[in-house]
Amino acid sequence: MKNTKKTKLVLNRLLIGSFCVLMLVLTFFFINYIGKLSNTRKYANAGSFDTALQAWQEAGVTDIPNVTGGPNVPSKAPDKVPTSVPAVKAEFSKEYTHLGEAEEVLAYESGIAYGLRYPVYEDAACADAVKAAAYELLSAQMKKFSGFADDECKLVIDYEDGSAGELVSVLFRIERETGGVTESEKQQWIFNKKKGRTVDAETLFTDRAYAAAAEAAEETELSGERETFSSYLLTADGAKFYYEADGSEKSVTLPYAEIHTYMAVTVNGNVVADRIRELDPEKPMIALTFDDGPHYINTPRLLEVLEKNGARSTFFVLGDRSYFTESNKETVKMIWNSGNEIASHTYSHKDLATLSLEDMIAEITKADDNIFALTGEYPTFVRPPYGSSSADVRKYANAPLITWNLDSEDWKSRDRDTIVEHVLAEAGDGKIVLMHDIHACTIDAAEILIPQLIAKGYQIVTLRELFYYKGVELENGKVYHSSYN
Ligand code: ZN
């Protein structure tokens, strides 16, 4: 009895003890949480220039302007005491789309009330880079007020952001107010998380992307010039292009599947040029292309032959076949990961010209989707089955259509030596050769053919490489039989 009582007492004490410890731990976490909350929302009250200055220095901005026009003071706060009562106050009035957390500073210095808001990202390199970009933008904008120091000035830098694959897109929205006049401006910023560096936003899209945006916009009179579009934002749904119409800001969003061939960087963040090897533009090039695959035995065999000879090719895979089995899926990934190129031979090898519009579009988009799911990139080219296309096919392919001008006739002869002889006899610089990696005899032929072509001075290239080195600017919906057509 006594023992039980003692045990109960000890248990009670233990319980109370644990409860106290628990409360302590909870209090600690609560304080920590509050601390974090106030950290993410840095708010410098009007007049506290030091806080802002510290943030500038943390962001690595060395070129901090002295807004009254004196020499820059990068290492310490200006001597002059900030005006205690601001005449104007900056605030973030508009709500733009923010993907996640934001950090903001509202401050007042020498007649300028300013606010800066920028995104906070989990990716540390991206977070640091966007912070530095935001403060550099602030620094540059503050300089624009020199000469207006006695007026009431206001500067608000807010942002919108979006992301697509490895790319993070931030559009800074700048508003400057001096003497009651407001000016606004936008500045875009793109970061590649995979590469850990910024991307040149000015050259991300070629001129054709802007032409496509103008065509897709509601306003029919819109010109397809780059200058028509003030800026863009990369969203999950596509590239959103901004333009002015009827005195207000409008936008049009184009899905990546439609414009990926007009982008210098594809949506998963691979720079297109990354998959283009350094080759000798003076030496002849030939593109061996392989249709109707993947084949889980023959294709990997062919990849080995290519690898052994330092050659690369383009594989026009079928969307359904790519997904038939796990080993077919793996084969598609193998092609892509080995540096070879994946292109679309449509979903199920139907003659596109004979299909209804709806079925024809489905044949293209279903293949696009399967390839994207396996490689993370939309196929750059489409080869219509039997080389058969129509005006509608060209319109909806959303890619250049690639046929051939040298048919290996492997499907006809099914004979190794005949294939080798025929291709060697017809080979020429800039030619596109039609072959099929589903036939074992084609791989047997490739084993002999590839070293022989190389011995003749040819570089065996992907289509991407061929068009790049031959200076062909590809257009969606146009048919190409070779690099010289
Ligand atoms: Zn075919």
Separation of 471 CA from ligand 1 center, angstroms?
27
Nearest 5°: CA angle at 160, between 157 and 163? 140
Separation of 292 CA from ligand 1 center, angstroms?
5
- The stretch 418-423 carries a mean pLDDT of 98
Using a pLDDT cut of 70, give the percent of the chain over it. Answer: 79
Q: How confident is the model over 140-172, as pLDDT tens digits?
A: 998 888 766 566 789 999 999 999 888 999 999
Question: In this structure, what are the phi and psi dihedrals at residue 409, rounded to the nearest 5 degrees?
Answer: 55, 30
Separation of 329 CA from ligand 1 center, angstroms?
18
When comparing pLDDT for 53 and 38, which is higher?
53
Task: Give residue 445's pLDDT band: very low, low, confident or very high (50, 70, 90).
Answer: very high
Task: Give residue 68's pLDDT band: very low, low, confident or very high (50, 70, 90).
Answer: very low
pLDDT at 270 (0 to 100) = 59
Task: Give residue 2's pLDDT band: very low, low, confident or very high (50, 70, 90).
Answer: very low
Separation of 160 CA from ligand 1 center, angstroms?
45
Q: Cα(255)–Cα(228) distance, rounded to whole angstroms?
A: 19
Task: Give residue 41's pLDDT band: very low, low, confident or very high (50, 70, 90).
Answer: very low
Letter for the amino acid at 46? Answer: A
**Token output for 76:** 């310490």
463: closest CA among 382, 398, 350?
382
Angstrom distances, CA of residue 249 to CA of 186, 219, 356: 12, 12, 38
Q: Cα(90)–Cα(289) distance, rounded to whole angstroms?
A: 60
Lowest-confidence region among 316-320, 347-351, 396-400: 396-400
Residues in the chain: 485
Separation of 473 CA from ligand 1 center, angstroms?
25
Number of Cβ within a 10 Å radius of residue 70: 12
Task: Give residue 217's pLDDT band: very low, low, confident or very high (50, 70, 90).
Answer: very high
Nearest 5°: CA angle at 215, between 209 and 219? 130
Question: Burial code of 238-247, b = ≥16 C-beta within 10 A, e = fewer?
Answer: bbbbbbeeee
- The stretch 427-456 carries a mean pLDDT of 98
- Whether the CB-CB separation of 171 and 188 falls below 8 Å is answered with yes
pLDDT at 173 (0 to 100) = 96
pLDDT at 37 (0 to 100) = 41
**Exposure on the CB side of residue 236, measured as CA atoms within 13 A:** 3
**Exposure on the CB side of residue 259, measured as CA atoms within 13 A:** 27
Task: Give residue 190's pLDDT band: very low, low, confident or very high (50, 70, 90).
Answer: very high
Statement: residue 274 has pLDDT above 60: yes
Active site residues: 291, 436
Separation of 345 CA from ligand 1 center, angstroms?
7
Does residue 77 sit in helix, strand or coil? coil
Q: Are strands 102-109 and 341-344 parallel, antiparallel or unpaired?
A: unpaired
Q: How confident is the model over 234-267, as pLDDT tens digits?
A: 999 999 999 999 889 999 999 988 888 888 776 6
- The stretch 334-356 carries a mean pLDDT of 97
Number of Cβ within a 10 Å radius of residue 148: 15
Separation of 46 CA from ligand 1 center, angstroms?
69
Q: What is the average pLDDT value for the chain, to the nearest integer?
A: 85
Letter for the amino acid at 124? Answer: A
Letter for the amino acid at 358? Answer: E
When comparing pLDDT for 198 and 273, which is higher?
198
441: closest CA among 469, 422, 460?
422
Statement: residue 311 has pLDDT above 90: yes
pLDDT at 208 (0 to 100) = 86
Task: Give residue 418's pLDDT band: very low, low, confident or very high (50, 70, 90).
Answer: very high
pLDDT at 18 (0 to 100) = 64
Number of Cβ within a 10 Å radius of residue 431: 22
Statement: residue 213 has pLDDT above 60: yes
Task: Give residue 130's pLDDT band: very low, low, confident or very high (50, 70, 90).
Answer: very high
Q: How confident is the model over 22-35, as pLDDT tens digits?
A: 666 565 555 555 44
| Predicted structure pTM score | 0.69
Partnered with residue 113 across adjacent β-strands are 108, 154
Separation of 331 CA from ligand 1 center, angstroms?
18
Cα-Cα end-to-end distance for the chain: 102
| Full DSSP string of 239-296 | EEEEEEETTEEEEEEE-HHHHGGGBSB-TTS-BGGGGS----TTS-EEEEEEES---T
Does residue 409 sit in helix, strand or coil? coil
Separation of 265 CA from ligand 1 center, angstroms?
29
Diameter of the chain measured on Cα atoms? 106
Lowest-confidence region among 54-58, 121-125, 323-327: 54-58
Is the omega angle on the peptide bond into residue 294 within 30 degrees of 0, that is, cis? Answer: yes
Number of Cβ within a 10 Å radius of residue 14: 10
Q: Cα(303)–Cα(260) distance, rounded to whole angstroms?
A: 26
Task: Give residue 378's pLDDT band: very low, low, confident or very high (50, 70, 90).
Answer: confident
Separation of 442 CA from ligand 1 center, angstroms?
14
Separation of 373 CA from ligand 1 center, angstroms?
21
- The stretch 207-223 carries a mean pLDDT of 91
Separation of 339 CA from ligand 1 center, angstroms?
22
Number of Cβ within a 10 Å radius of residue 451: 15
